[in-house]
Structure formats: C-alpha cells, structure tokens
Amino acid sequence: MSGDVSGVQARLREFHKSALYVHCYAHRLNLVIVDAAHHVQSAGEFFSVIEMLYVFLTRQKVHEVLIRRQVEQGLVVRELGRLSDTRWACRHRNISMLRERYDVILAVLDEVQKLNDAEIRTLSRGLLHELRSYHFVTNLTIFNMILSLSHGVNEALQSSMLNISESNRLIIGLLTSLTELRNDDTMWDNMWHDIDTTCKSQDIELPTVRRRQAIRERPDMITYSTTGRRDGALPELSASLRVDLLIPALDRILSELKRRFSDQALSVIGSVASVLCPNSSQFFVFEDIRPLLSVYGDACGIDESLLAAEMTVALKLLKKQLGDDLPQNDLHTILQLLTPSLAFPNLLKCVQVALTIPVSSASCEWSFSALKLIKTYLRNRTEDDRLSDLGTLFVHKERARALDRDKIIDIFASRMGRRMQLN
C-alpha cells in the first residue's frame, strides 16, 4: 500500500502527481512504538522478557498458581496477553498488569520453584532474576509512562467520529508531551521516586555509584594534573539510568513520530478543516488553507485572491443565516446555503479537493483483525452470514455490550415453539 516504488500510492501518483497518501494514523503510531521496541536495545530486551513471562505463565501448573494467588488476595484476576506488532495496545495492557500485579508475579515465580518440574524451576529462576533487577523496574516505569501518554491518543485515532483536524491536534499534543517528558527534570524525579519505592519494597538492591574523591590540598605542593581518574565526577544512578534507558527510547520514538508525522503532512491534512469542519475555529479562514493550496492550487486552477474573497463573503453569509448555530450544522447543510454556486467557484473546488483526501482512521481494518480471533478451529465451518454477524458484534463491541440480553432471548424464544423454555 505505502510502497514508494510499486505500492498503491506510487501507482495512483502515475495518474495524478499531486495525489496525497494518508496512512492510518493509529497504524502509524503503532509502528512508532514497534520501531522503538526493535531498535533500542534496552527496550527490546525488556519486551522480550515480558514475552517470555507471558509464555511461562500460560503453562497449566503456573497458570493455576497465578489465578489462586490473585483470588486469595481478593484481587480481580488479570493475566498477561501476547505481544503483537499489529495491535500495540497489548503492550500497554501488559505493562499495566505488571505494575499492578508485580508482587503477585514475583510470589508466583517463587512458589513454582517448589514444583516437581525441573524445566519450570529453571525457567522461573531465570525470570525471577530478570524481574528483580533494577533495570527491569526502571524500564517498567518508563514504558508505563510513555504508553500511558500515547494510549489515549491511539484509542481516539481509531474512532470513526474523529475528524482530521482533531487527529492532527492529538498527534501534536503527543509530540509535545513526550518532548516535555524528555526535558523535564521534575517528571523524571517523580518516576525515579516510583522506581526507588518499588525496589525498596521488593528488597531489590540498587548499586551505589562511586563518587569522585576530593583531592586533598597540600600547601607545600602545586598540583598541575591528576592521573587514574576522569576529569568529571561519575554520575549518580538516577542520572545514569535516565541517560541510558529513558533518553534513547524517547529519542527514537520522537524521531519516528516526526518522520511519520512530518510538519508538512500535518499542515496539509490539518488545513482540510478550514473547508470541511464547520465546528472548527479554522472554518473558512483563508490563512489556514494555504498548505492545501500549495499542493493542489495550481493543479486545480484555484485563484488564491478570488478564494480569499469568496471565503470572506461565504462566512458572513452563513453567520447571517445561521448565527450561533453555525458550528452545529454539517457540511451538506452549509453547501446548500452557498447558492448560487457560480458565486463561489474556487471555494467549491477546495471543498471537492478536501473531500478526496482519505480519512486518517481506517476502522474497516478491524474486520480483518477480528477474523483471526473469531474464525477459530472450532468455528472453521461457520457460514458467511453468521461470520459477518459475529464480526459486526466484535468490531462494535461497545454497542453490543449495551444490548439487553434478556430482551434478545425473549424475542428469540417467541419466534417459534421450542422444546426448552428460554424465558
């Protein structure tokens, strides 16, 4: 799809060089996190440990201990999920679960070492060693913060009700938040406090960093240089972990975000709101549509000076007819009021161009992801109609959960006589 040489976007540009390719924003954000997990060494090792822990906890004997431990403590049973490169939200769920059940998982790994299974005992010792390291606790805290900041944005980007201008605003807000996380000492101090508290509660030893000893002054001698020591003092552990773990992960994520969501692409797509979104503050503002004109203005024969005048007249006309109700109207109503169309030729061209730009949320991809989960081995002979209905329920799970199940059963039972009473 996105290939520059033989992908769909390259083939379309053979017919129209100004065609704008818009990748699903949620998928792009997913690729950013996956790239960081693959190319930052500390992040890659951290997520590999989580994947191995997931595989280990799915063993029957270990799984039984995990469930029993949570039930005995009166906790809601939670389990790790499999990491996936295409559905990165599972990383946030797993890290959230690890943060909340960290002491429970350590207790499970301790208990299963008493089982009469050599392989389980060996694996549990290795995982326990990894989980009880300050590096793991630090990465757990760091990625919990990073994924918490991006999780809400990812969920919102998958909404079919989100318009392009709001998508751009969310991405810009995420870039700003991650940049502040990188540069703000106070945010790191709060994270370090959580790391220190967790390590102390689990008796995880934090290494002490040797400080540089002060050189004793000798009044009868002059010191020109020293040997065997660095010029600067060794950093403290907090600063060392920030430089070694936090900064590389954030730098990679920020660079990927800026590459995949470039300022030019964001400005062009964001300018669409100036002609398509009546509820936007940019609506019919000429200065905000300039990025779109820089790409399509000449190709579509749009006169910028006439367009500025048409937008001014159109906005005053709409405000006079609709008043304060302008933001509550949809685009179809707006266009019906802009009559005669001959009075706004350049403005209508801009609207037509903006309508051809693809949406930034490809919610139709959910159906493909759902098939792998719905059409299991036990349902491999499901017919198309039932499979389509199951897919619809899965994709729109929020609406499905809100349905009254008892009412549905009553309707099903009343359609014909049945041997078993369902109501």
Residues 87-100 pLDDT 10s: 656 778 888 889 99
Whole-number average pLDDT of the chain: 81
- The residue with greater pLDDT, 53 or 369, is 53
pLDDT at position 220, please?
61
Asked if pLDDT for residue 238 goes beyond 90, the answer is: no
- The residue with greater pLDDT, 341 or 102, is 102
Kindly write down the DSSP assignment for every residue of 53-95, as one continuous string. HHHHHTSHHHHHHHHHHHHHTTPPP-------SS-THHHHHHH
Q: How many helices (H) and strands (E) does the chain have?
A: 22, 0
pLDDT (average), residues 312-331: 82
Q: What is the DSSP letter of 289?
A: G
CA quadruple 103, 107, 110, 112: dihedral, nearest 10:
-130
Asked if pLDDT for residue 2 goes beyond 70, the answer is: no
pLDDT at position 422, please?
63
Q: Encoding tokens for residue 315?
A: 């906005």
Residues 165-218 pLDDT 10s: 677 788 888 889 999 999 988 999 999 999 989 998 888 888 765 555 555 555
pLDDT confidence band for 229 (50 / 70 / 90): very low
Which single residue is written with the structure tokens 């009559």?
Answer: 339
Residues 62-87 pLDDT 10s: 999 999 999 999 988 888 887 766 66
pLDDT confidence band for 138 (50 / 70 / 90): very high
pLDDT confidence band for 107 (50 / 70 / 90): very high
pLDDT (average), residues 377-403: 83
Asked if pLDDT for residue 411 goes beyond 70, the answer is: yes
- The residue with greater pLDDT, 164 or 274, is 274
Compute CA distances 262 → 6, 132, 254, 258, 272, whole Å.
22, 40, 11, 5, 16
Asked if pLDDT for residue 390 goes beyond 60, the answer is: yes
Asked if pLDDT for residue 233 goes beyond 50, the answer is: no
pLDDT at position 64, please?
92
